[in-house]
Amino acid sequence: AGLGAMGYHMAGHLARRHGERCFVWNRTSSKAKQHSQEFGSTAVSKLSELGRCQVVVFCLPTSTEDEAVAEQLLPHLDREACLVSCTSGQPAVSRRLSAEYRERHGIHFLDCPVSGGPRGAAAGTLTAMLGSDSKDAADMVQPLIESFTKKVVHCGPSGSAHAVKAVNNALNVSHLLIGAEGLLALQHHG
Residues noted as catalytic = 165
CB under 8 Å to 18, separation ≥6 — which residues? Answer: 144, 147
Question: Using the 8-state DSSP alphabet, how is residue 6 labeled?
Answer: T
Is there a contact between 53 and 76 (Cβ–Cβ < 8 Å)?
no
C-alpha closest to that of 110 among 61, 63, 157, 53:
157
C-alpha closest to that of 42 among 50, 82, 56:
50
